[in-house]
Amino acid sequence: MTKFLIRLFIVFCWLTCTAQAASESIVLGMGCFWGAEKRMGELPGVLDVETGYANGDIAGDYQKILAHEKALKQGETHRRNHAEVVKVSFDPGRVGLESVLAHFWESHDPTQGNRQGNDIGTNYRSAIYTSSKEQLAIAHKTRMAYQAALKGAGRGTITTEVAPLKTYYKAEDYHQDYLKKNPNGYCGLGGTGVKYPGFASIGKTASPNGPLDPKALNLKRQLIVFETEDCAYCKQFKIEILDNWKSQVPVARSMSSQPPVGWRLEKALFATPTIVLFENGKEISRFTGYNGDKPRFWKWLGFHLLTPKQQQIAFERGTENPGTGSHLDEKRPGTFVDPITGAALFRSDAKFNSSTGWPSFFSPMPGALTEHVDTSLGMRRTEVRSASSGIHLGHVFDDGPPPTGKRYCINGNVLTFIPDK
């Protein structure tokens, strides 16, 4: 029995040592480590990805790192902060270090210095921290190769720090597998869209498609949805928003991380979907991520389409003074639509003169409105909102004409009228 246990122990040790010998690890900084963990974990041959903190002069604690970054910005300290990193363990027999680093270069923008997208600070720096001279040599080799590819694409200079690993701390448990535990409505954008030379891209990288042709777009006002092929949130946005698009603002989809030629983004994209509103070829505003909250998206767009008076009605449940709103005397055949989404709300043949000072209708389009109890002003009323955008329209009362007996009392300033052709 004793001999059997000894042999079993020897076999166990051999298997353990073999497994350890078959794996290699490298520490990479790509901005926020949540997205980096997800992206590097998509690479075949990667065995494990762990979030952590590396190559700083302080304790490896998330809150202390944030506080230290604030102190650095205020000039209160000169001690080096950690970078948010991922420790990537991989099987060299299945994927080589150069392939791992090719995926690293393609999966973020290494030209942004101490930032990555909206995350700004030395703790979000791009970095490769190596554990051997061989790793360091390969890291420098891949940096030179990718810099040449970036230069050929007209992009900037790589700022990635390449150095031996000096200190490393595993991040807190709640930071491990964060995006699996907390889906947040966006996918990390695949970097610059420039391919690492000589390697087929693996995973969710930016599409090789070039920027949109500005000649096919509306220079005065244009929405562009920047997306990637494998982004589930992009697909959800397409199904729930784009497939039924009726808004007055033209919309286009782009698989490139770059704006149309000659147009300008205010800052680099860091996630998809990102919906950008351009006016005269310049970014006016952007909406990043989509998790099914349609009213939130339409409210964002509405703040750029509606006047301040319209916004007060639509988003603050305001009321225009009687006799001052639009469409009170509109009698032409046509459809009254949501001013943001363009969805049909009322037909003109359901409109009647209620002598109240507000446009009134006895029936909405099917499914166009939602009803909500309103107890403001010491009264109990039924508020009506647009089902498509969620904006406030007015109230419905039980004193209307046949055939419904309803009076939908609507603020005319939050209606758009489209006459029949």
**pLDDT at position 8, please?**
55
State the Cα angle at 240 between 206 and 365, rounded to 5°: 155
CA 331 to centroid of chain Cα atoms: 43
Q: Is 396 left (phi over 0), alpha (psi -120 to 50) or beta?
A: beta
d(CA 418, CA 347): 10
Cβ neighbors of 335 (< 8 A, separation 6 or more) are 344, 345, 346, 347, 348, 365, 417, 418, 420
* Sign of the torsion angle spanned by Cα atoms 227, 27, 158, 74: positive
Residues 40-64 have pLDDT tens digits of: 998 999 999 999 999 999 999 999 9
Residues 297-347 have pLDDT tens digits of: 999 999 999 999 999 999 999 999 999 999 999 999 999 999 999 999 999
**pLDDT at position 203, please?**
40
pLDDT of 199 strictly over 60 = yes
- pLDDT, mean of residues 349-368: 97
As a whole number of Å, the CA-based R_g of the chain is: 28
Q: Cite the active site residues.
A: 32
**pLDDT at position 184, please?**
63
Q: pLDDT over 70 for what percent of the chain?
A: 90
- pLDDT, mean of residues 385-397: 97
Paired with 129 in beta bridges are: 27, 163
- pLDDT, mean of residues 242-251: 95
The domains found in the chain, sorted by start residue, are 22-182 (3.30.1060.10), 214-292 (3.40.30.10), 334-419 (2.170.150.20)
Measured in degrees and rounded to the nearest 5, phi and psi for residue 5 equal -65, -40
Residues 216-240 have pLDDT tens digits of: 999 999 999 999 877 888 999 999 9
State the Cα angle at 29 between 28 and 35, rounded to 5°: 100
Residues 159-184 have pLDDT tens digits of: 999 999 999 999 999 999 987 887 66
* Confidence band of 80 (pLDDT split at 50, 70, 90): very high
* Confidence band of 119 (pLDDT split at 50, 70, 90): confident
pLDDT of 384 strictly over 70 = yes
* Eight-class DSSP state of 418: E
Q: How many beta carbons lie within 10 A of that of residue 231, not counting itself?
A: 22
pLDDT of 145 strictly over 90 = yes
pLDDT of 20 strictly over 80 = no
Helices (H), 153-252: 178-181, 232-240
**pLDDT at position 6, please?**
56
Nearest by Cα to 81 from 95, 93, 67:
67
Mean pLDDT for all residues in the chain: 90
**pLDDT at position 202, please?**
44
d(CA 401, CA 395): 16
* Confidence band of 136 (pLDDT split at 50, 70, 90): very high
Map residue 104 onto helix, strand or coil.
helix
pLDDT of 10 strictly over 60 = no
Burial-class residue 307 by CB neighbours within 10 Å (0-12, 13-18, 19+): exposed
Paired with 334 in beta bridges are: 419
d(CA 103, CA 126): 14
Q: Determine which of 64-78, 117-131, 198-212, 270-284 has the lowest per-residue pLDDT on average.
A: 198-212
* Eight-class DSSP state of 273: S
* Eight-class DSSP state of 360: E
pLDDT of 364 strictly over 60 = yes
**pLDDT at position 212, please?**
93
* Sign of the torsion angle spanned by Cα atoms 248, 254, 257, 260: negative
- pLDDT, mean of residues 144-156: 93
* Sign of the torsion angle spanned by Cα atoms 137, 140, 143, 149: negative
pLDDT of 18 strictly over 50 = no
**pLDDT at position 291, please?**
87
Residues 253-277 have pLDDT tens digits of: 998 888 999 999 988 777 789 999 9
Measured in degrees and rounded to the nearest 5, phi and psi for residue 402 equal -65, 160
Nearest by Cα to 37 from 177, 162, 232, 233:
177
